[in-house]
Structure 1
């Protein structure tokens, strides 16, 4: 399945397998909600999510793909850049960060090739700082974040993590490789009442299930 989408994704095999497992997990445990990705690149990750759903005979889950679809992005802040030394990064596996913007029509066409119902697929074009708050995703079962930078990642967590249902899956593609995305997650969860356990996927990338909120103290 990964080989089918590999030409269309910048993510590593390990990161793709984490998403594959997450989709199977939400289906097996009947966790309701959409699958949402911020930072789509060529669309390969969401193609994988769609084909995994189809393999489980599921066609009724909404898929949201947020991206500029032209490789434009916010100005980096002092938080941003690579985590670790260039030599270390060159010797470790992980997702490609080379700029390879793909147009919205091309991504839509690629998603259509999966056979997943197009009425369930929503491509949302623009900066996430502008589009997330005005897009009703409903409940979210899988939240996959891959926009590299501090401001966009923090915005995604502030807007979308509250929509992630308890037991839903969070995937942070850039955690551990890009300083901005890592700092945004650390900052957000430092002030979260019920922070999740972020499990390392490889040198970069973290995955977690959202905890059930604790009952108020009596």
Structure 2
């Protein structure tokens, strides 16, 4: 009989050396451009604003070019810490605190011997998955994979299955569509693209169920919408090992995502305590 693991990631003794700590701290700062980016920050337009409409037309007309609107702005350490801004050139927008959560969870399962791979469903430019691969490499882990699951075409429009997604506008944000080739280039930038990294290209309801993933130690959900969250949980949750973690990026940011988490946990009778990471992210440990 398997004994449930109840320790939090903060209590796990990963026995990281000073060199490992330094490398992973610098990696987190680089992936978020924490203090490195200068004065350029991405301009965010309101979804139904006139400016947002015009910018979307420009993006459609220049889909094959990396064109962005940025503005001068002083680096705000507090906002970058909690992923409240959108760094123009970073590989991730989740901020330092949510990246630390990924490290804590991965080092916890490594220290406790919880088996399984890391998977993120919704990867954008790949920064969080790059960090997961860096963590495995820093700790000499050669028998776990990092799965990068994304459409690499942005988010789908609401398909009518779930009322919580009615009117969702994520599919209009073309800047969320990053090609698999670009993400692979981002891995190469850090010398972290190897045979421990696997890409699942396509919509979650088509790719995740047949994916050859045997066991998961950390499942990170970053699908924004109700559908994208449920379509990841349904085929993957049962593969999460006892003592593994489920991390939800958008719980505090998108109502549809939070509703999907509540509905799924209720339907499965999941009572494991949810812990808050920052204003958006939460996680729980599977018992």
TM-score (norm 1): 0.84
Residue 157 of structure 1: how far off its partner (Å): 1.1
Residue 194 of structure 1: how far off its partner (Å): 3.8
Alignment counterpart, residue 104 of structure 2, candidates 16, 21, 33: 21
Matches within 5 A, 1:93-104: 99-104=175-180
Alignment partners' CA distance in 1, 2:232 and 2:272: 16
Task: Confirm or deny that 1:5 pairs with 2:31.
Answer: yes
Alignment partners' CA distance in 2, 1:169 and 1:41: 21
Match of 1:166 in 2: 242
Larger radius of gyration: 2
Maintained 8 Å contact 1:34/1:139: yes
Maintained 8 Å contact 1:9/1:45: yes
Residue 98 of structure 1: how far off its partner (Å): 8.6
Task: Confirm or deny that 1:110 pairs with 2:136.
Answer: no
Alignment partners' CA distance in 1, 2:228 and 2:176: 18
Kindly indicate whether structure 1 or structure 2 has the higher relative contact order, using CA contacts under 8 Å at least 6 residues apart. 1
Alignment counterpart, residue 36 of structure 1, candidates 105, 119, 134: 119
Residue 59 of structure 1: how far off its partner (Å): 2.6
Residue 138 of structure 1: how far off its partner (Å): 0.8
Task: Confirm or deny that 1:78 pairs with 2:163.
Answer: yes
Match of 2:232 in 1: 156
Maintained 8 Å contact 1:40/1:67: yes
Maintained 8 Å contact 1:143/1:164: yes
The alignment covers a number of residue pairs equal to 197
Matches within 5 A, 1:171-210: 171-210=247-286
**Please, which runs of 5 or more residues in structure 2 have no aligned partner?**
1-26, 33-89, 168-172
User: RMSD across aligned C-alpha pairs, in angstroms?
Assistant: 2.0
Residue 99 of structure 1: how far off its partner (Å): 3.5
Maintained 8 Å contact 1:59/1:117: no
Maintained 8 Å contact 1:32/1:141: yes
**Please, which runs of 5 or more residues in structure 1 have no aligned partner?**
83-96, 212-218
Maintained 8 Å contact 1:59/1:116: no
SS of equivalent residue, structure 1 residue 119: coil
Task: Confirm or deny that 1:55 pairs with 2:81.
Answer: no
Residue 117 of structure 1: how far off its partner (Å): 5.8
SS of equivalent residue, structure 1 residue 174: coil
